[in-house]
Structure 1
Amino acid sequence: MSQSKIVVEAAERNKEPILKVLEDVIPEKFGAGSPSLSALEISSGSGQHVVYFAEKFKNIMWQPSDIDEKYIESIKGFIADENLENVKSPLVIDITKPISEWPVAFTENCLDLIININMVHITPWSCTEGLFVTAGKLLKPNGIMITYGPYAIHGEITPESNVSFNASLKKENEAWGLRDVDDLEKEAKKNGMTFDAMFNMPANNKILVWLKSEEKELA
């Protein structure tokens, strides 16, 4: 195993449940046996997710990214060990920065899929705002963004373990915490997207699917 690789236990546990949802959602949205697709993962972390998904979805070209150099090196290690040809070298992306300041040029409406796992509750709200701005600009019409993590629903956090988790996050950093789906939906609408589906996941997490409108309405 590459020395640069970081193995995160939570990622190891949740990669298969997330994959099962992707195996339902991606063919539904893009067609079974769909032609080549392009995907960007924002905040890839260790890289365990992207190589696992890439192995299962050979028709998707995956672009991992992170802001932390140690994770960039870990992603490179996972890619090298798995010898996958459909995963690009990871990019250092600060999601709060304009796309024009990213290290590689992206054109509008260039992506079919964006994936973001376990980021929005452990980053400031500006990261969530940047995530939806990015999705609104880079996704093709009818493209999708998939977010995963714990959420509040209509002002309520359940079960009690998530209430405690939210309190511990805010104690560590006041800018962190479980985001309410209603607030996320407002950000989606600002950026020409709609809340499309929700899946209940293990450990009181959820997958949310966000759909890029066919025609983006300017705010």
Structure 2
Amino acid sequence: MLLSPQAERNWEGLCAVLEDVLQDQSHRHLFALELGSGTGQHVIRFAQKMPFVTWQPSDIKEESLDSIKAYIAATNAKTVLQPVHLDASELWEKWAGLSRNSCDVIVAINLLHYSSFKTAKGVFSGAGQLLRQNGLLIIYGVYAINGTITPSCNEQLDAELRKMNPDWGLPDIDVLRQLAYGNGMRMERMIEMEEYYRCLIFRKL
């Protein structure tokens, strides 16, 4: 079972955002896909707080999938499905057999700045196909805005990420907005979070 100190710190803020954007649908049962579930800490907490949502966790790493399974078993989570291997950079048809218009919500936490632009394109392309009408794509992370990265701690993070992998780095919100538009979605809200992180909420039109 893996433990992320950051996930322990930020899950409550993320949960509050999810509860807020989903509260008007809490009378019905929703299906949510989490991309890059990592340790599994987030999805377990979300399931405990929002029993009206069935969660499908996913990741690309075997150790993450094992950790998610361990959290599901340890918490006896009834509304979290067994995790699936999913590479968001691939075509949506390869996304673990999920069918078109099958998701009410797709969540990606701290995924895009640790990914290539191909993955970002894949996330928006996949969400455009898998989300039902009015479905939500919710992305949490740190971003550039119109080509500018502020403050200096985010500039340092971007530099560190690019040193680890030249394809990584802070994605630009304006570019993500264009990707969303090209895939039948629009950015509805940008929520300021702790330590210069933001939640971006996109809706399928």
Q: Counterpart of 1:217?
A: none
Q: Which residue in the other structure is 1:13 paired with? A: 9
The Cα offsets for residues 5-48 of structure 1, whole Å up to 9 and x where unpaired, read as: 10011111111111111121111xxx253210000000000000
Name the CA distance, whole Å, in 2 between partners of 1:61 and 1:119.
Answer: 21
- What is the deviation of 1:96? 1.5
TM-score scaled by structure 1? 0.91
Q: Any residues of structure 2 matched to 1:26-175 within 5 Å, and which?
A: 26-27=22-23, 31=24, 33-103=26-96, 105-175=97-167
Superposed CA offset, 1:150-185 (max 9, x none): 001122111111011111111111111101100001
**Moved segments of 4+, more than 3 Å:** none
Please give the alpha-carbon distance, in whole angstroms, between the structure 1 residues aligned to 2:38 and 2:57.
9
Alignment check: 8 A CA contact 2:117 2:167 kept: yes
- Cα distance in 2, alignment partners of residues 101 and 161 from structure 1: 37
Task: Provide the residue aligned with 1:216 in structure 2.
Answer: none
In the alignment, the residues of structure 2 paired with residue 166 and residue 136 of structure 1 have an alpha-carbon distance, to the nearest angstrom, of 28
* Aligned residue pairs, count: 205
5+ unaligned residues in a row in structure 1: which ranges?
Answer: 214-219
Return the offset for 1:99. Answer: 2.6
CA distance in structure 2 between the partners assigned to 1:33 and 1:149 by the alignment: 25
Q: Distance in 1 between matches of 2:26 and 2:61?
A: 35
Query: Quick one: distance in 2 between partners of 1:132 and 1:90?
Result: 21
**Matches of 1:33 and 1:179 in 2, distance apart?**
32
Distance (whole Å) between structure 1 residues aligned to residue 113 and residue 26 of structure 2: 34
The CA RMSD measured in Å over matched residues stands at 1.0
Instruction: Tell me which residue corresponds to 2:181.
Output: 189
Conserved in 1, the CA contact under 8 Å of 2:101 and 2:130?
Answer: yes
**TM-score, with length taken from structure 2:** 0.97
- 2:19 matched to which residue of 1? 23
